[in-house]
Amino acid sequence: MRKVICLFCVCSIVLASSVTAFAENLDISAKSAVLMEASTGKILYEKNPDERLPIASVTKVMTMLLIMEALDSGRIQMDEIVTASERAKSMGGSTMFLEAGEQLKVYDMLKGIAVASANDGCVAMAEHIAGSEAAFVNMMNQRAKELGMVNTNFENSNGLDDDNHYSSAKDVAIMSRELIKHEKIFEFTTIWMDTLRNGKFQLANTNKLIRFYKGANGLKTGSTSKALCCLSATAKRDNMQLIAVVLAAPTSKDRFASASALLDYGFANYAVKPQVQQNDVLGSVNVSKGSKASIDAVAKQDFSVLIEKGTQQSEIKKDIQLSDNINAPIEKGTVIGKVEFSLNGENLGCVDAVAAENVSKKGFGGMISDIFRKWLNI
């Protein structure tokens, strides 16, 4: 059997020079910025993307990511009780005013972190998950390495200024992309105003885009005298999720204006187009020595491509490559081919073609029958 190897291809596309020129004219006052399309990880705009800078409370993107991963793995539950320590209470800056010994659910702690940027909530959750904030910070740095965040080092869970605490616009986009894979986080990051403690404590989102930018669904602001004004902003329109990161903007107004300009540029010039859906039949493959003579090859997963607006679907080429023949037995989900997508000769990505069902090996009686049929030429 001819083996076809296509475990997973990441979608990519070359930017046209005219669009690039338009991107260069964007008025971005922030020292560093990145615009990323979330489903592909494609960077659509960058300005000093790898410069190491303090990121203030944008740090909480990683803190929230580890919380969501702990929730998804079952290590903690939303209704689990978290007890605030004296150290958590001692945190300055933005807080949810935790008292030592106060008990709140994980759900409320996460709401305080996402909406009110609660530094004390971060420490409480770090201690709850890892035993200490220092151990949790080790987890943050390990996760950053796993994600390929090469210009990042965390010293705390909340982003309070520290000389050795830094990241880059590209790295922030990477961890933001990972966080929003946990779609439940949007339940928190899209809150504009809410309360805690049975209505006794008011929450107001520090991310003004949530109210004033169409499609905005997150993600995290940050500001200190050292980091200036930072933001990881996410928004979704027409099935396309964008991430706009701005670091070291001179004012809060500038960071929101820069993020809006980046998002406007992305939505105006790009689109995500579905090409194949999971279990779409791509063709059939002959089976040797099997209980069936052939088997359907189906798409392993949904697949979309990122293209410039104005590109016609007919311009995207689909090349289906299937095995000529495979031997039974065959297990459902076995890779038996692939389908590749390209535009103007540039690879856009591929998706595996897999066996639609199990096919058992033909029994002895069936094999004897085949021999007689062949001998009798029928």
> In the annotation, is 117 catalytic?
yes
Say how far apart CA 39 and CA 180 lie, in whole Å: 10
What does DSSP assign to residue 288?
Answer: E
Could you write out the three-class secondary structure of 199-261? CCEEEECCCCHHHHCCCEEEEEEEEECCCEEEEEEEEEECCEEEEEEEEEECCHHHHHHHHHH
> In the annotation, is 60 catalytic?
yes
Tally of CA atoms within 13 A in the half-sphere of 101 that contains its CB: 0
| DSSP-derived secondary structure for 330-378 | B-TT-EEEEEEEEETTEEEEEEEEEESS-BPBP-HHHHHHHHHHHHHT-
What does DSSP assign to residue 312?
Answer: -
Closest C-alpha to 275, from 249, 247, 307, 252? 307
**CB-based contact 244:265 (threshold 8 Å):** no
Angle of helix 17-24 versus helix 252-269 axis, rounded to 10: 170
Compute how many other C-beta atoms are within 10 angstroms of the C-beta atom of residue 267. 18
> Which CA distances in Å does 374 have to 291, 294, 369, 377, 378?
17, 18, 9, 5, 6
- Burial group, residue 93, by CB count within 10 angstroms (0-12, 13-18, 19+): middle
> In the annotation, is 167 catalytic?
no
Residues with Cβ within 8 Å of 25's Cβ and at least 6 positions away in sequence, in order, are: none
Say how far apart CA 30 and CA 8 lie, in whole Å: 35
> Which CA distances in Å does 42 have to 14, 17, 192, 306?
10, 16, 29, 8
Give me the phi and psi of 24, to 5 degrees please. -65, -20
| Catalytic member of 32, 47, 57, 94 | 57
| Catalytic member of 117, 167, 168, 223 | 117
**CB-based contact 175:144 (threshold 8 Å):** yes
Give catalytic residues, as residue numbers: 57, 60, 117
